[in-house]
């Protein structure tokens, strides 16, 4: 059972455009939703995260939109740049549990053309 | 070093051999995680340590996999009787403790079983 579903699998955007990646989850116990960015040959790095008590969080060009009733959240990258080309993973966790076990989506390979 | 260090970065072995993968977390981080990332997939949780003890090993696929963290710092993931299906990137991550909101990943150890 895939608890976090991510789409699209790949995305090509022109420089300056908006990149949108969507995720849906099933486990209502999830209460922390981070996005990780991974460059080839590197480990994932935290980009931005949100808790369900807010519907949106913005950090620079990156925004998370969260819809608790629909159990969906999305990452928007404004003014996309070639340096943003990477694989993006959404994730979810029940932070109130006895551990911090992240459940990741399958990833979206973003390519930003110059 | 300042980040999570994993060795070896690449390991090629033959089916049936024994393999050890090492993780040196960020100094002072009490929580340590192992994840496995197959090609085109998101990282999958294997095991979590809080200090020296394995607080959650529910992600280990079978009894051929074992991990230790004897002094609460460096961890070793051990795989016995390797199979071709074990081929993947094994990622280690650390964090300062529960509910800190961020895992710091190493660059991973790429294991190839021939």
Residues of chain A contacting B44 with CB distance shorter than 8 Å: 104
Residue B62: which residues within 8 A CB-CB, separation 6 or more? none
Where residue B19 sits, what CATH number does that domain have? 2.60.40.10
Considering only the beta carbons, identify the residue of A99, A103, A106 that sits closest to B41.
Answer: A106
Instruction: Characterize A11-40 residue by residue with b for buried, 16 or more Cβ atoms within 10 angstroms of its Cβ, and e for exposed.
Output: bebeeeeebbbbbbbeeeebbbbbbbbbee
Judge contact between A73 and A66, C-beta under 8 A. Answer: yes
Shortest Cα distance from B14 to chain A (angstroms)?
Answer: 23
Q: Please report, for chain A, the start and end positions of each structural domain, with discontinuous segments joined by +.
A: 4-113
| Residue B93 token pair | 């991550």
Residue A39: which residues within 8 A CB-CB, separation 6 or more? A86, A87
Considering only the beta carbons, identify the residue of A43, A89, A95 that sits closest to B42.
Answer: A89
Judge contact between A35 and A96, C-beta under 8 A. Answer: no
Residues of chain A contacting B59 with CB distance shorter than 8 Å: 101
Q: What's the average model confidence in pLDDT over B86-107?
A: 86
Could you tell me the residue range of the domain that residue B69 belongs to? 5-113
Dist CA A91 CA A100 (whole Å): 12
Residue B15: which residues within 8 A CB-CB, separation 6 or more? B82, B83, B84, B113, B114
pLDDT in tens, B30-52: 899 999 999 989 999 999 998 88
Query: What's the structural domain count of chain B?
Result: 1
pLDDT in tens, A47-86: 999 988 899 999 999 999 999 999 999 999 999 999 999 9
Judge contact between A30 and A14, C-beta under 8 A. Answer: no
Could you tell me the fold of the domain covering A4-113? Immunoglobulin-like (2.60.40)
Residues of chain A contacting B36 with CB distance shorter than 8 Å: none
């Amino acid at each position: 059972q895939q608890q976090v579903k991510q789409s699209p699998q790949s995305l090509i955007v022109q420089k300056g455009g908006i990149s949108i990646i969507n995720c849906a989850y099933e486990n209502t116990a999830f209460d922390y939703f981070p996005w990780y960015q991974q460059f080839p040959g590197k480990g994932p790095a935290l980009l931005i995260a949100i808790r369900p008590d807010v519907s949106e969080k913005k950090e620079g060009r990156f925004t998370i939109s969260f819809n608790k009733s629909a159990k969906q959240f999305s990452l928007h990258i404004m003014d996309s740049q070639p340096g943003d080309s990477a694989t993006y993973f959404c994730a979810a966790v029940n932070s109130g549990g006895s551990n911090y076990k992240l459940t990741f989506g399958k990833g979206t390979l973003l390519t930003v053309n110059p | 070093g300042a980040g999570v260090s994993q060795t070896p970065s690449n390991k090629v072995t033959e089916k049936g051999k024994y393999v050890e993968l090492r993780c040196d977390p960020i100094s002072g981080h009490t929580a340590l995680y192992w994840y496995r990332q197959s090609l085109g997939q998101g990282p999958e949780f294997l095991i979590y340590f809080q200090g020296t003890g394995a607080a959650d090993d529910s992600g280990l696929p079978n009894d051929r996999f074992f991990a230790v963290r004897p002094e609460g710092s460096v961890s070793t993931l051990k795989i016995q009787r390797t199979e071709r299906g074990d081929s993947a990137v094994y990622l280690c991550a650390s964090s300062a403790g529960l509910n800190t909101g961020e895992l710091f990943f190493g660059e991973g150890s790429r294991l190839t079983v021939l």
